[in-house]
Structure 1
Amino acid sequence: GDIGKAFVTAFTERELGTMVLHSLSLIIKGLIVGIALALVFSSLSVISETFYTIYNMIVSMCDLIPGIALIPVAILWIGVGDGAIIFMVIHAVVWPMSRSIIDGFNAVPELYLEVGRNIGLSPVKLIFGVFLPAALPRIFSGIKVGWARAWRGLISAEMIFGGGGALGIGYFIQDRRTNTDIAGVFAAIIVIVIIGMVVEYGIFRNIENKTFRKWGMTR
Structure 2
Amino acid sequence: MIDGFTNPQRQILSYLGHSLIAIVKGLGIGAVFAIVFSGLSVVSSTFNAIYNLIVSIFDLLPGVALLPILMITVGANDTSILILVVHSVIWPMSRNIIDGFKTTPRMYIEAGKNMGLGTLGLVTGVYIPASFASMLSGIKVGWARAWRGLISAEMIFGAAQSAGIGVYINNARTVWIDYPSVYAAIILIIIVGVIVEYCVFRVIEKLTVRKWGMVR
Cα offset for 1:157?
Answer: 0.6
Deviation per CA, 1:110-139: give whole Å up to 9, x if none.
111122223332111110111011011111
- Return the alpha-carbon distance in structure 1 between the equivalents of residues 210 and 145 of structure 2: 24
Counterpart of 1:28 in structure 2 is 24
Counterpart of 2:6 in structure 1 is 8
* Paired residues of 1:85 and 1:163 also in contact (CA < 8 A): no
Cα offset for 1:77?
Answer: 2.5
- Return the alpha-carbon distance in structure 2 between the equivalents of residues 163 and 206 of structure 1: 37
Counterpart of 1:63 in structure 2 is 59
User: Is 1:141 matched with 2:141?
Assistant: no
Counterpart of 2:187 in structure 1 is 190
* Paired residues of 1:82 and 1:164 also in contact (CA < 8 A): no
1:209 equivalent among 206, 211, 214: 206
Instruction: Name the SS of the counterpart of 2:131 in structure 1.
Output: helix
- Return the alpha-carbon distance in structure 2 between the equivalents of residues 217 and 118 of structure 1: 23
Matches for 1:20-99 after TM superposition, within 5 Å: 20-99=16-95
* Paired residues of 1:85 and 1:154 also in contact (CA < 8 A): yes
- The one-letter code sitting in structure 2 at the alignment partner of 1:65 is L
- Return the alpha-carbon distance in structure 2 between the equivalents of residues 143 and 194 of structure 1: 19
Instruction: Name the SS of the counterpart of 2:60 in structure 1.
Output: coil
- The one-letter code sitting in structure 2 at the alignment partner of 1:137 is A
Of 44-53 and 121-130, more deviation after overlay is shown by: 121-130
TM-score, normalised via structure 2 length: 0.95
Counterpart of 1:113 in structure 2 is 109
* Paired residues of 2:33 and 2:90 also in contact (CA < 8 A): yes
Cα offset for 1:14?
Answer: 6.2
- Return the alpha-carbon distance in structure 1 between the equivalents of residues 167 and 83 of structure 2: 17
Cα offset for 1:211?
Answer: 2.2
Structure 1 runs not aligned, ≥5 long? none
Q: How many residues align?
A: 215
Percent of aligned positions that are identical: 52
* Paired residues of 2:154 and 2:161 also in contact (CA < 8 A): no
Cα offset for 1:165?
Answer: 5.2
- Return the alpha-carbon distance in structure 2 between the equivalents of residues 164 and 15 of structure 1: 18
Q: Give the CA RMSD over aligned residues.
A: 1.4
- Return the alpha-carbon distance in structure 1 between the equivalents of residues 196 and 56 of structure 2: 27
- The one-letter code sitting in structure 1 at the alignment partner of 2:36 is V
TM-score, normalised via structure 1 length: 0.94
Structure 2 runs not aligned, ≥5 long? none
